[in-house]
């Protein structure tokens, strides 16, 4: 049986999860990303643009992938929720 740090042990940790306002820079990008009646081509361009903008915010320290909004949602949570609720449709 292993004992100590190699076995079963409790280790205290502290994780910082920044809570930001709904109108913070990263969440504002999502306001332009999801519009009604967006075609597949438009959606691809919008995602590419949003990815670039988010990357710059993260690199410049103006936002973090760990940011959560006032409801505890991350950028990914909000993105998926808005995409699901949008009226996205394929081009024919």
Q: What is the pLDDT of residues 37-62, one digit of tens each?
A: 667 788 788 888 889 999 999 999 99
Predicted structure pTM score: 0.68
Note the pLDDT of residue 37.
Answer: 66
Q: Is 17 exposed, middle or buried (0-12, 13-18, 19+ CB in 10 A)?
A: exposed
Instruction: Tell me the H-state helices in the chain.
Output: 25-33, 40-59, 75-85
Mean pLDDT over 26-34 rounds to: 79
């Amino acid at each position: 049986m292993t004992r100590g740090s190699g076995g079963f042990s409790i280790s205290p940790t502290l994780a910082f999860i920044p809570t930001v306002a709904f109108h913070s820079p990263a969440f504002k990008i999502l306001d332009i990303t999801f519009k009604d009646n967006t075609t597949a081509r438009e959606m691809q361009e919008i995602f590419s643009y949003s990815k670039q903008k988010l990357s710059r915010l993260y690199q410049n320290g103006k936002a973090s992938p760990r940011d959560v909004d006032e409801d505890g949602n991350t950028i990914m949570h909000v993105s998926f929720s808005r995409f699901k609720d949008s009226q996205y449709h394929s081009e024919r």
